[in-house]
Amino acid sequence: WACGVIMFTLLVGCPPFWNRKQMVMLRNIMEGKYSFTSPEWADISEAPKDLIRKLLVVDPAKRISIQEALDHPFFHTV
């Protein structure tokens, strides 16, 4: 989870769940609500977005494992 948040933030310069209203931001975190709609994402390929989606799954049992993350195509294109 934390790796997904850090990766998102490093790629576009803002955290995935940010909202001016703290309660909305906390709800976004708990529900895993984020998007790739800001203009900063326009030039970013699908591979990092896919990895972030898999890292930011709310349910840890359904989240990508560390080995699966390391085997993700994103790391083969870097």
pLDDT, tens digit, 9 for 90 and up, residues 10-56: 999 999 999 999 999 999 999 999 999 999 999 999 999 999 999 99
The domain spanning residue 15 has which CATH number? 1.10.510.10
Contact 74, 50 (CB under 8 A): yes
Query: Dihedral of CA 31/64/72/13: which sign?
Result: positive
- pLDDT attached to residue 13: 95
Q: How many structural domains compose the chain?
A: 1
**Residue 29 domain boundaries:** 2-77
Q: How far apart are CA 29 and CA 2, in angstroms?
A: 12
Query: Dihedral of CA 72/78/56/2: which sign?
Result: positive
- In the block, tokens 């790629």 appear at 11
pTM: 0.91
